[in-house]
């Protein structure tokens, strides 16, 4: 998925030194928070529903995400749809990161997905800012802003993708992100954070809103959360008949170049 580049905010030499020191402090706090959470959190299961608006039509998806250590499994299945939605968009899909590769499985088959650095972390319901540590030199602390009544750090990031993140100053959870996708401005807002029982200092958003060019196109609501459930390792095993040939691999990568938002835009036309 192509992303437009945001204009860099230029600081005077003295200002940049101050911001750099603050940025390091923020990253250090995030790392400390994640390290503490790992002592009491080994796995999680989250059930949610997502309503996606496609013009006058809509799709309601039931989602289940499992995370065990660094492995992730995400299951999505339509439970309510408008009559005019093509059947190809109404299939159950399963996305798995097995610790090494990212896969998507559907009735059409199993496919390895080429991924950019940071893509896996975006799938995580927990520890989804761990990738920041590797990209501190591509980040700038632009200042502070109040979001939903909470003071936030405003951070611009140029890699692994162009975006602006808003981090709650107290909880260090990201509550808002902004980026451009194929010339469209996408804003993600995370709300209604609730603490996880038995896991000090860790909370998750129970509502996630996605806006495109100022219009809300999707809303996710968390329905159930299980902390430290017993998750079998077999959930993260992907079975394929044989490794893809170079020709098949090129075909897969070409087919994966069109992102979810591109497909939704086509449906909404």
Q: What is residue 17's predicted lDDT score, i.e. its pLDDT? A: 31
Tell me the whole-structure pTM to 2 decimals: 0.76
Q: What is residue 74's predicted lDDT score, i.e. its pLDDT? A: 92
Q: Is the dihedral of CA 159, 162, 164, 167 positive or negative?
A: negative
Q: What is residue 261's predicted lDDT score, i.e. its pLDDT? A: 46
Q: What is residue 266's predicted lDDT score, i.e. its pLDDT? A: 52
Q: What is residue 215's predicted lDDT score, i.e. its pLDDT? A: 93
Closest of 199, 135, 203, 206 to residue 165, by C-alpha: 135
Q: How far apart are CA 265 and CA 260, in angstroms?
A: 9
Q: What is residue 209's predicted lDDT score, i.e. its pLDDT? A: 95
Q: How far apart are CA 60 and CA 50, in angstroms?
A: 6
Sequence-ordered strand ranges (E) for the chain:
43-54, 57-68, 71-81, 93-97, 102-106, 109-112, 139-147, 150-157, 163-168, 174-181, 184-195, 203-212, 215-227
Query: Tens digit of pLDDT for each residue in 198-222?
Result: 887 788 899 999 999 999 999 999 9
- Per-residue pLDDT of the chain in tens (269 residues, 90 and over written 9): 333 322 222 222 222 333 334 788 888 888 887 777 777 888 999 999 999 987 788 899 999 999 998 899 999 999 988 888 777 777 889 999 988 888 989 888 898 887 654 456 666 666 556 667 777 788 889 999 999 999 999 999 887 678 899 999 998 888 999 998 888 999 999 999 999 888 877 888 999 999 999 999 999 999 999 999 999 999 999 987 555 555 555 554 444 444 444 544 554 44
Please enumerate in sequence order all residues whose Cβ is within 8 A of that of 254, keeping only pairs 6 or more positions apart, or say none: none
Q: How far apart are CA 222 and CA 229, in angstroms?
A: 17
Closest of 134, 124, 132 to residue 102, by C-alpha: 124
Q: What is residue 250's predicted lDDT score, i.e. its pLDDT? A: 55
């Amino acid at each position: 998925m192509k992303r437009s580049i945001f204009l860099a905010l230029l600081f005077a030499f003295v200002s940049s030194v101050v911001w750099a020191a603050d940025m390091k402090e923020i990253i250090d706090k995030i790392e400390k928070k994640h390290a503490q959470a790992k002592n009491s959190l080994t796995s999680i299961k989250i059930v949610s529903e997502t309503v996606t608006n496609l013009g006058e039509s809509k799709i309601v998806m039931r989602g289940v995400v499992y995370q065990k250590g660094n492995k992730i499994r995400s299951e999505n299945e339509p439970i309510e749809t408008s009559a005019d939605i093509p059947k190809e968009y109404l299939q159950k899909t399963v996305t798995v990161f097995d610790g090494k590769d990212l896969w998507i499985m559907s009735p059409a088959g199993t496919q390895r997905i080429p991924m950019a650095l940071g893509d896996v972390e975006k799938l995580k319901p927990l520890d989804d800012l761990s990738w920041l540590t590797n990209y501190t030199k591509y980040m700038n602390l632009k200042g502070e802003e109040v979001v939903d009544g909470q003071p936030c750090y405003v951070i611009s990031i140029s890699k692994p993708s162009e975006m602006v993140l808003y981090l709650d100053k107290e909880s260090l959870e990201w509550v808002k992100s902004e980026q451009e996708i194929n010339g469209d401005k996408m804003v993600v807002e995370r709300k209604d954070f609730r603490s996880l029982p038995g896991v000090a200092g860790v909370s998750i958003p129970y509502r996630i809103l996605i806006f495109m060019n100022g219009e809300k196109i999707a809303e996710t609501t968390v329905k159930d959360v299980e902390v430290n459930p017993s998750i079998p390792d077999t959930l993260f095993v992907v079975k394929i008949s044989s490794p893809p040939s170079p020709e098949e691999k090129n075909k897969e990568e070409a087919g994966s170049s069109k992102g979810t938002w591109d497909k939704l835009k086509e449906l909404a036309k």
